[in-house]
Amino acid sequence: MPKDSGIGASSKRREDVRFLTGRGRYTADIQLHGQTYAAFARSPHAHARIVSIDTKAAEAMDGVLAVFTGADFAAVGGNPAGWLIQSRNGETMKEPKRPVLAHGKVRHVGDAYAAVIAETVEIARSAVEALDVVFEELPAIVDMAAAVADKTNRVHDEIADNVCFDWGWIEDNRAAVDAAFKSAPHVTSLKLINNRLVPNAMEPRASIGVYDPGTEDYKLYTTSQNPHLTRLLVAAFVMGIPEHKLNVIAPDVGGGFGSKIYHYGEEALVLAASRRIGRPVKWVADRSESFLTDAHGRDHVTTIELASDKQGNFLALRTETLANVGAYLSNFATVTPTFLHGTLMAGPYKTPLVYVNVKTVFTNTAPVDAYRGAGRPEATYSIERVVDKMCRELNLDPVEVRRKNFIQLDQFPYTTPVALVYDTGNYQATLDKLIDIGDFAGFEARRAKSAKAGKLRGLGLSTWIEACGIAPSALVGALGARVGLYDAATVRVNPTGNISVMVGAHSHGQGHETVFAQIVSSKLGIPEANIDIVHGDTSKIPFGMGSYGSRSLAVCGSAMDRALDKVIAKGKKIAAHMLEAAEGDIIFADGKFSVTGTDKAKTFGEIAFSAYVPHNYPLETLEPGLEETAFYDPANFTYPAGAYACEVEVDPDTGRVEIASFTCADDFGNVMNPMIVEGQVHGGVAQGIGQALLEGCTYDANGQLTSGSYMDYTMPRADDLPMYTVDHSCITPCTHNPLGVKGCGEAGAIGSPPAVVNAVIDALHRAGKNVTHIDMPLTPSRVWSAMNA
């Protein structure tokens, strides 16, 4: 029987009521007294020197309150990269300054070089048009290979070859890997592009800066996945505001998918502007600005090679990747193609030797950073495509090849040749489950039916692993991270026994308000309705690192679990005093503290009340109050894994691909709320299918964004997608966090693109077409052209 509350129940989401009645409160919904508006002047050129900016006409307009240019921020800090990566030659990566407003040069279309503050949005935008700016256009650097080869044309004048770093993982493995390739019976090679994507959270970015001249306090309302991280970056790195004088509030946030992890210059600008004019300053991006300036995702060009024997046993794997970081380093831009990508190149397989080389390249395009999956989809796509190609070359069954190369049950914990330690997993189990629920046995019949309708049916497989719950601070620090990656929670038991939990994680669609309350409810034995989860306001919550990398439950949930343990431990001391028993004899269960072996008990509410009205209380040895905080720093990443199958129908006349079915068998460890987990998988798979079939962010040779609106960037819509079959019943609980959870937010986007592409290639092969690869997105034009080449 399904549970109706607590851990494991599909509790309905409490946050839904406000969203369904129009009472959500997103940043753009907030109206403050005396509010003014910012508009940004954005570069029409991909690459140009700013010769001059004359602001006089704009400043003279009625209703204009202030104009800012890059010169106003020349003295303040840049927006830093979150990780410092070392190149193979031991040099530290190049980190050019990322200013609040471009100064001297603009480096991508949409790069903001000035901002106007005015009484209305319309006046601010008109005044932007009145700025008189003279640009000296420079050649645009768009193609990565050309950028690396070109020693004269530079995105940043001080970086000769436009390379941020040239990273090898693990450099010491390289010689052994190369030797294995030389002697390998078979080598499969594949060059592929992991297409650039625009995250497209439905809520455009927005920020409101508020400076209080009386207290000298700043407040920033902003669309952020991690308000404390934003506060740290704005305060300590960019603006030089004392951290305690800045309160960052991320209220309801309409999706993030990575794009709202990062600090953006607009946030610093509205704060600086509010300080100058003494009134709140609001900026809301329109969708065109979002396309131009939100950090994009993916954009890798990879050559992958797999060495094997003729029976399909993997012997070695190596890759060379060019990864685009765009014009400036966004906060996670350097870790995404390295430690979130190269370290995953073993996949779920026991490939003994792996070497990964990644060069990151500056170009005159928008910054590229983590987007749902962040490095792991790129790794999974490369591996699962080359494995499929190998199976075809050697005429081997893709299911059996995966099976025999899987890390086996008795090998955990398993140290990969790319330095991760997988604590647990059961890859055979998820593959077995997939074959069952995906009805592989019935495929031939379905294929025959499709053929009768004139369609080419194919079946594609992907077996994947990811690293989530990012991650141990000591480890990431050793690898170049500039922050810790713990999280924190404070459990405040109120005198009447209800509970407020302040968490460092941020919910922007994930349902934390519901799920975290379920965990508290189970642990303390009190109704979910008596528990509130507070997030998104740095003045209320402990210093946590926010939500990304499928980490909220594994890291922040674990912190909350530890804080609850402390609450229970203190409650036992109070109960022992009240019940005149030894502390060791108190047990806590079902919301009651009782003396073991007796019927003497106090309810949780009675203990809470006593903690705040301590008339009968051990004040000599115990502080009053019942509020506990825990910071949790994980011992390892978590390793969700799964097996996905996609069936497609290809129309041979048009090349159009239709998803006939999509099936997922996942191992997320313990599941707190199945309904929410399934929803996360659905959404991730939709984004993966979008990448595989529909979405592609493109710039022309001049660096103009040619996919800058919903008219020309193909978002997946309801009639592009199927109903999904998802299963999460294969469970190997995480061995190192108290909840045994792994994370489910990115899985769908990681596992699905290769399943789709493998299915299309399979359909074409079965139809006798010798097509070995098509780059994503697999548009009708690309598929038709490949079929008819």
Partner 1 sequence: MTKVTVTVNGKSVSRDVEGRTLLSSFLRDGLGLTGTHIGCDTSQCGACVVHIDGLAVKACSVFAVDVAGSSVKTIEGMANADGSLGTIQQAFQDHHGLQCGFCTPGMVMSTAALLAENPKPTEAEVRHYLEGNICRCTGYHNIVKAVLAASGQDVPAVAAE
Of 135, 123, 149, which Cα lies nearest the Cα of 53?
135
Compute the C-alpha angle 569/575/579, nearest 5°: 150
Per CB under 8 A, 721 contacts partner 1: yes
Q: Is 15 in the site for partner 1 (CB under 8 A)?
A: yes
Q: How does 510-529 read in b/e, with b if 16+ C-beta sit within 10 Å?
A: bbbbbbbbbbbbbbbebebe
List, in order, residues 6 or more apart from 314 with CB less than 8 Å away.
306, 307, 308, 349, 350, 351, 352, 405
Q: How far apart are CA 379 and CA 194, in angstroms?
A: 10
Q: Which residue, 544 or 748, is less far from partner 1 as judged by CB?
A: 748
In terms of CB distance, is 16 or 216 closer to partner 1? 16
13 binds partner 1 (CB under 8 A): yes
Among candidate residues 358, 299, 304, 344, the one with its CA nearest the CA of residue 324: 299
Contact window for partner 1 (CB under 8 A) among 357-365, 448-456, 621-629, 679-687: 679-687
Instruction: Confirm or reject binding of residue 533 to partner 1 (CB under 8 A).
Output: no
Question: Does residue 3 belong to the site contacting partner 1 (CB under 8 A)?
Answer: no
CA distance 682 to 685: 5
Determine the interface stretch with partner 1 among 194-202, 355-363, 398-406, 432-440 (rule: CB under 8 A).
194-202
658 binds partner 1, rule: CB under 8 A: no
Interface residue with partner 1, options 6, 7, 9, 28 (CB under 8 A):
28
First to last CA, the chain: 55
State whether the Cα torsion 687-354-737-557 is positive or negative: negative
Query: According to CB under 8 A, which one of 1, 75, 441, 718 is a site residue for partner 1?
Result: 718
Task: Identify the burial level of 672 via C-beta atoms within 10 angstroms of its C-beta, where 0-12 means exposed, 13-18 middle and 19 or more buried.
Answer: buried
Contact between 642 and partner 1 per CB under 8 A? no
CB of 289 to partner 1, least distance (A): 9
324 binds partner 1 (CB under 8 A): no
- My answer on whether omega of the bond before 777 falls inside 30° of 0, hence cis, is yes
Q: Which of 325, 383, 386, 676 binds partner 1 (CB under 8 A)?
A: 676
Residue closer to partner 1 (CB basis): 638 or 661: 661
Name the segment binding partner 1 (CB under 8 A); options: 181-189, 305-313, 708-716, 754-762: 708-716
Tell me the window of 22-30, 301-309, 386-394, 570-578 that interacts with partner 1 (CB under 8 A). 22-30
Is 266 an interacting residue with respect to partner 1 (CB under 8 A)? Answer: no
What are the backbone angles phi and psi of residue 73, rounded to the nearest 5°?
Answer: -115, 10
What the block records as the tokens of 301 is: 């060009």
Q: Does 449 bind partner 1 (CB under 8 A)?
A: no
User: Which pair of tokens denotes residue 189?
Assistant: 């090679």
How many residues bind partner 1 (CB under 8 A)? The answer is 57
Crossing angle (nearest 10°) for helices 512-524 and 558-578: 30
How far, in Å, are 7, 13, 475, 668 from residue 504 at the CA level?
20, 20, 21, 22
Report if residue 126 touches partner 1, rule: CB under 8 A.
Answer: no
Distance, CA of 734 to CA of 750 (rounded, Å): 19
Span near partner 1 by CB under 8 A; candidates 78-86, 253-261, 454-462, 566-574: 253-261
Distance CA 760, CA 748 (A): 18
- Tell me how far, at minimum, the Cβ of 31 lies from partner 1, in Å: 8
The partner residues of 307 in beta bridges, in order of sequence, read: 187, 316
Would you say 16 or 700 has its CB closer to partner 1? 16
Query: x-or-dash pattern for partner 1, window 411-440, by CB under 8 A?
Result: ------------------------------
Single out the residue of 288, 303, 702, 704 in contact with partner 1 (rule: CB under 8 A).
288
Binding to partner 1 by residue 49, rule CB under 8 A? no
Q: Does 19 bind partner 1 (CB under 8 A)?
A: yes
Bridge partners of 166? 359
> Beta strands 281-284 and 36-42: pairing type?
parallel
**678 part of the interface to partner 1, by CB under 8 A:** yes
**Which of 517, 685, 730, 757 contacts partner 1 by CB under 8 A?**
685
- x/- string (CB under 8 A) for partner 1, residues 221-250? ------------------------------
Residue 659: which H helix or E strand, with range? strand 657-667
CA proximity to 273, closest of 19, 101, 476, 512: 101
Contact set for partner 1, span 727-756 (CB under 8 A): 748
Q: Which amino acid is at 604?
A: F
The residue written with tokens 């700016």 in the block is 133
Q: How far apart are CA 704 and CA 285, in angstroms?
A: 19
CB of 461 to partner 1, least distance (A): 20
Indicate which single residue of 194, 538, 687, 732 sits in contact with partner 1 (rule: CB under 8 A). 687
Minimum distance between the CB of residue 750 and partner 1, rounded to whole angstroms?
A: 14
CA distance 615 to 591: 22
Comparison of 678 and 727: residue with beta carbon closer to partner 1: 678
252 belongs to the binding site for partner 1 (CB under 8 A): yes
Residues 495-514 that bind partner 1 (CB under 8 A): 508-511
Judged by beta carbon, residue 115 or residue 253, the one nearer partner 1 is: 253
**CB neighbours of 723 closer than 8 A, spacing ≥ 6?**
none
Single residue of 141, 253, 493, 607 touching partner 1 by CB under 8 A: 253
Residue in 76, 451, 534, 715 binding partner 1, rule: CB under 8 A: 715
Q: Which of 390/677 has CB closer to partner 1?
A: 677
Decide if residue 12 touches partner 1 (CB under 8 A). Answer: yes
Which of 174, 245, 287, 566 touches partner 1 by CB under 8 A? Answer: 287
Binding mask 575-594 for partner 1 (x = CB under 8 A): --------------------
The correct pick among 2, 21, 182, 620 for binding partner 1 (CB under 8 A) is: 21
Residues 6+ apart with CB under 8 A from 604: 497, 524, 525, 526, 571, 591, 592, 593
> CA dihedral defined by 777, 778, 780, 784, rounded to 10 degrees?
130
Cβ nearer to partner 1, comparing 204 with 497: 204
Kindly state the smallest distance separating residue 128's Cβ from partner 1, in Å: 16
Residue 191 interacting with partner 1 (CB under 8 A): no
Nearest CA among 366, 371, 372, 122 for reference residue 265: 366
Q: Which amino acid belongs to residue 517?
A: A
Q: By CB under 8 A, is residue 204 in contact with partner 1?
A: yes
With tokens 């592409």, the residue in question is 757
> With binding defined as CB under 8 A, does residue 38 bind partner 1?
no
Q: What is the DSSP string of 207-221?
A: EEEEEETTTTEEEEE
User: Is the Cβ of residue 54 or residue 122 nearer to partner 1 in the bound state?
Assistant: 122
Task: Name residues contacting partner 1, limited to 348-387 (CB under 8 A).
Answer: none
Q: Interface residues with partner 1 (CB under 8 A)?
A: 12-13, 15-26, 28-29, 31, 122, 200-204, 252-255, 257, 286-288, 508-511, 675-676, 678-679, 682-687, 709-711, 715-719, 721, 723-724, 748
